[in-house]
Structure formats: C-alpha cells, structure tokens
Structure 1
C-alpha cells in the first residue's frame, strides 16, 4: 500500500493540466515554420458570416478530412476568391489553436480558385492588365488588304485546320501564294512555338496578312492562346493578323488583340480572301453601274447641248455674226485703200528725191563736159592762185582721169 501511494504521488506530480497540455500543443503547432505559412487545397463544405469574420470548413473532395478556417473582417477584402460552399479553393494561412475549445483552425490570408477556377482568375487578371495597356483598343486595329497576293498561315502541319484552310483558299482564290509557318498549337511548348512561327513570317517580309488558326478543343488545349507571350507577339506583329481558333468557346486573349477574329479556321480563310465568284459579280455590277453613269452623263450633255442650240436660235446670234463679218470685211477694204494710197504717195516722194540726187551727182556734171582738178594731196583746186608752177595735178573727166603739170600761171589783172 505504501508503494502504491508513492506511485500515485509521482504521477500526480508529473501530470499536466488541460491548459498546460493545450499550451504545449499550441507551442508545437504555432512555432512550426511549415505551419506558419501553409497552402491547403480543398472544397468549401460550409460557410457562415459572423461579426468578426467569415468561418468556413475546407474538406477533401472525398470527405476523408476537414479543417475549420476563419477569415477575419480585416482580411476579407484582400481575398481573390470569396469562399462559397461547393467551390474548390487554394488557401494560404497559418495554424492557430484555441484553448477554450481545444481545437485548431486555419487563419486564412488568401483564397484562390483551384483548377479551372484558378485558370479563370489568371485569365481575368492578365486580360485586365493588357486592356489597361491599350492592346485591345479598336483604334489599334489595322484594316485587312482587300485582295492580298501573298498570305501567311501559322498552325500545326498535322491539324485538320491546315487542310481546311488550304481547301477553302483554293476554292475561293486560286493562284494565291501561301507561306506556311508551322507551329505547335497545344501543350507547354506551344506558346514559344507560335511566337517563333510569327517571327519567321515577319522576317520573310512577303506576306500581306497573317492567319493564326487552330481547330476546336478543350479549354486546357487552347490555353496557349491566352499566353502573354503569344498575345504580345500578335499585338506587335508588323502585318495584320486574323485569328480562327476553336469552335465553341469564349474569346481568347489572342482574339481580342488580333486585327480580326472569327470562330473557325475555315471562316478565317473565307475572311482573308474574297471568292472569285463574288469578285466577278462585283465586277459585273460595276460594269452595269459604269454603263448607267456614262449613259446618264451622255444624255445630260446632249440635253444641255440642245438647250444651248435653242438659246442660240432665240438670240439670233447667227445674224449678229454675219453682221460682224460684213463689218470686218468693210474695215479690211478701208485699211487696204488707205495703205495703198500711203504707199503711192511714198513712192512718188521717193522718185522726186531720186531725181534731186541725180541732179546733184558730181558724175552727172562731169558728163556734161566739166572737170574736177585735184592737187597731189587730193584737195580740189578752186583757185589758180593756189597752184604753183611745176605742180602736178589730177584732172577727173567724165570718162577717165589725166595728170598734168602747171607750166605757167596767168598774170593777175
């Protein structure tokens, strides 16, 4: 009995109180670095709002385990996703233990959608950011060429979309030159592959428009067309881009940034080039419209011409023109007569002057028997006193010249 009492005393001395055990467990939980910042994924099974915050339970989809969670009011507005029953979430928080209930719970800092929900959140965040940059603005959209001679196609060489595009282009616009830039359009390697394919088209420099296409598929298969690298490659492409991605789906970010977007590769091929039948019909319509326009212009011109003819008849301009012609003829005759008279008078005056010149001509005087006596210096001798005996003189006769010498000077009276 004494031994039993000692054992009981020893046990009593080493036993922990409920508070002590709780404090020890709380110390272990709250001091663990792994539990101070932990990500937990699960499904919200219940949620209730209280004055201090939102309390909810997060459990595994199979119901095998659950944990209570709390989001204090100060943290609610910072959550990316509000916990709602049935939603799959990824929770960030820390483990806390409450002694009064002997329970532990997760104090939540952030809640993100899990699975498809997470992809949707990332999609919306990226979309808002790119939209804020102006990548989706309608003012940045470029017009497509009306009749391109060379286009580029970016898609998978093994996809049905490539075959549909080739068939459609051949039917609608034979002779079109198509540059094919192959790319992977599904999986982790797809974004980089698509960016490289677009870059090859730009470096080539021949294409007037680029067609980016892929057939239908699940949401996860089309994720590459929401990749920021692909979106920016399309936005920065130097030529217009048309997208034809998937069949039944929401718009991808590439659709929003492209210059034109349709729902199928075939529709994209139909948009990029016109059909020859349509071009022929348009040509015929233009011919008919041109014929009508020319006919209308001709008819209008003929009506105006006839109207002017009628006005001329009313104004009797032909009579006025005839009178002007007669007046011009009379003035011409007057001018001819006046000119003839002036010419006759001038001719008579010239003849009179000619006769005077003839009379005054020294040669004519010589012809009548006179002579001109010149001294050796060429001066005309006018007085015998000027001459000296022995001086040679030149006598100019009517016919020829003679030289003489003065032998004797007459005696002055």
Structure 2
C-alpha cells in the first residue's frame, strides 16, 4: 500500500509527540483497507491478561511480526483460541494506542490456516450479519407449537424429503405438508432456495418452513450459508 502525502500539510516547526502520534493514528485508522483485513501467520507468543488475549503473529523465519489482541467481549465468541506454534488466519482491524505509540491488530475472528478461505469468508459474513442485528432474538419469529401447515424446501429427489414426510406423519399426522422443490447443492442452489422460500411466502398457507437436505460434506452444505439465503 502506497500513501500519497503530497497534499497533506505538515508544519515546518517541530511537532509534539501527541501531534505526530495522532497524525499516524489517523492514517492507520482511517484507511478502510486496514479496517477489515485477513492475516496469516504463526503464533509466536500468547497470554491472557484481564480477560483479554494478547498474542503475536510472526513470519516462520521471524523476519516480521505483528502484535494482536482479542478483547474479552470478542474472545467469548471465538471458537478457537490461538496457541503458541499454531499457523492461523485472523481477521480484524489495525488500531494505534497513543500512550505507548504502538499499533495492534484487533482481532474478531480466528481459524486454523488449514481450514481454508471458505471458512474465513463464512466467519466474516457471520460477523457482519451479527453486527447488523440479523440474529438478534427480537428479530426472530415465534414458531407455532401446533402448526396446521408445514412447507418443506428441499429437493424432491432427496432422501431427506422422504425422511421428513415419514417422521411428521408418525409424530404429528394432523398437519398438512407442502413441498417447494429446489436444488440443495451446487452454484445455482442459493438462488433456487431463495425462490422456493418466496413461493411458500406468496402461497401463504404454511406457518412453518423446513429448509433441509440429507447431510453431506462442508462444501456441499455451503449454499445454506449464502448471504442471499440467510436474508430471505
């Protein structure tokens, strides 16, 4: 990244320590590229202090390192806590602490490097949607205890469709079951799922929607994590 400071005004007289520190802070914290970045590195040190986790990410040959921090309110939602010697991928933002004049990467997600970029994208999406309040309890609809009609959004050739019909008929035979068929795997699946759910909403009879498929590998289930599906 190249910064063009030709248009910035810097006084010829000496700057105060606070002046130059806050100037550097503005450059770092106002650069949007540094406010949501992913970094891969090896954890060379890690320690807890007052509920916050402080650690250092380094190059394997120790040619460069960056201090990192996970605040305690974020740490409780981190699925994997960094440990010394691990190769990890983190996402976060750059922040400068003026009293010491040092900068840190403030981390909000962590994953082992072997988990791949797909998991990083999933964690970034989940974090962004959580900040929007999409998963807040007050935004969730109440599921009726005894619905009269249930719509199932799945493939009409999937084993899951047969399993759902049998289970519902055994446990709650009075309910009416509707099928809104869709793809549940592949690049066209997210849009197809969205359209299938919208058809159920337009029909208006179903009080509950079941979106399902019969299991599979992580990559097979990725369509259910698509932002278009989450928002529908």
1:116-131 to 2 correspondences below 5 Å: 116-131=115-130
The TM-score, its normalising length taken from structure 2, stands at 0.54
Structure richer in strand, relative to its length: 2
Separation in 1 of the partners of 2:202 and 2:222? Answer: 26
Separation in 1 of the partners of 2:138 and 2:231? Answer: 17
Cross-structure match for 2:102: none
Change (3 A) 1:85 1:137: same
Change (3 A) 1:55 1:122: closer
Alignment partner of 2:63 out of 70, 74, 83 = 70
- CA deviation vs aligned residue, 1:240-282 (integer Å, no higher than 9, x gap): xxxxxxxxxxxxxxxxxxxxxxxxxxxxxxxxxxxxxxxxxxx
**Alignment check: 8 A CA contact 1:47 1:56 kept:** no
1:91-170 to 2 correspondences below 5 Å: 116-170=115-169
Please say if 1:194 is aligned against 2:193. Answer: yes
The TM-score, its normalising length taken from structure 1, stands at 0.32
**Alignment check: 8 A CA contact 2:86 2:112 kept:** no
Separation in 1 of the partners of 2:44 and 2:156? Answer: 54
Instruction: Name stretches of at least 5 consecutive residues in structure 1 with no aligned partner.
Output: 1-42, 58-67, 90-111, 234-413
| Post-superposition offset of 1:134 | 1.3
Change (3 A) 1:152 1:54: closer
* SS of structure 2 residue aligned to 1:181: strand
| Post-superposition offset of 1:86 | 6.2
Cross-structure match for 2:59: 56
Cross-structure match for 1:7: none
Bigger relative CO (Cα 8 Å, ≥ 6 apart): 2
Separation in 1 of the partners of 2:185 and 2:114? Answer: 18
| Post-superposition offset of 1:72 | 4.8
| Post-superposition offset of 1:56 | 3.1
Instruction: Name stretches of at least 5 consecutive residues in structure 2 with no aligned partner.
Output: 1-39, 46-55, 70-81, 90-110
* SS of structure 2 residue aligned to 1:158: coil
**Alignment check: 8 A CA contact 1:56 1:83 kept:** no
Please identify the structure whose Cα radius of gyration is greater: 1
Change (3 A) 1:143 1:153: same
| Post-superposition offset of 1:71 | 2.7
1:1-20 to 2 correspondences below 5 Å: none
1:138-287 to 2 correspondences below 5 Å: 138-233=137-232
